[in-house]
Amino acid sequence: MAKPGDFLTTYMGEDGVIVTRGEDGRIGVFLNSCSHRGNKICLAEAGNRRRFTCNYHGWTFDAKGDLVGLPQEEIYKKTCPGFDKADLGLRRARVENYKGLVFATFDDDAESLDQFLGDYRWYLDVLLDNDEGGTEFLPGNIKSRMACNWKFPAENFAGDSYHAAWTHNSGAVAMLGVGVGKSNRERSYR
């Protein structure tokens, strides 16, 4: 998401959102739901666009989530007292970032990101400042759908550190130059 107009779609909780980089370089996060009748606006996972046009009635929003055009606008102006495009943009989230990680909330009264992260920033710094040049996030993602009880993967993330030295060793070697727990030379693969 380096260039103006770059976007991706993802979820905040159960809500689909569009994450965009605007012409001014700033990141915006919007509900992926048309302000007209709630239709899902962006069906792509990622790309580059200056505008998002809803495929239901053609309302069009820019990378800041503002409503910039709609078919038969003159009829709305004549028949809807107080009609103003400025009031009809996409639902916008509050966005802050920490060292390139984007955080967003729809709660206007939520604490600042600084307060929210608190001492957890130390752990992020360990990850993100691992190299002198900082951390670069590569595009793409991996999604897995597991037909299992949700407690199984939750328990794996929360409590099973035993698997890390074996399953994630190649990732550790790629990222840190050394395997998890012991060096590759000590490790025997059978």
Would you tell me which residues interact with ligand FES (CB under 6 A)?
34, 36-37, 39, 54, 56-59
Q: Whole-angstrom Cα distance, residue 126 to residue 175?
A: 13
Q: In 92-140, where do the E strands start and end?
A: 94-98, 101-105
Q: Which is nearer to ligand FES, 57 or 77 (CB)?
A: 57
The letter for the amino acid at 163 is H
Token digits of residue 98: 């920490």
**Using CA atoms, how far apart are residues 188 and 12, in angstroms rounded to an integer?**
42
Name the residue type at position 152.
Answer: F
- Whole-angstrom Cα distance, residue 4 to residue 35? 23
Q: How far is the CB of 13 from ligand FES (least distance, A)?
A: 22
Shortest gap between Cβ of 54 and ligand FES (angstroms)?
Answer: 3
Give least dist CB 111 to ligand FES, A. Answer: 33
Residue number with CB closer to ligand FES (50 or 168)? 50
Least Å distance, CB 105 to ligand FES, is 24
Is the CB of 41 or the CB of 180 nearer to ligand FES?
41
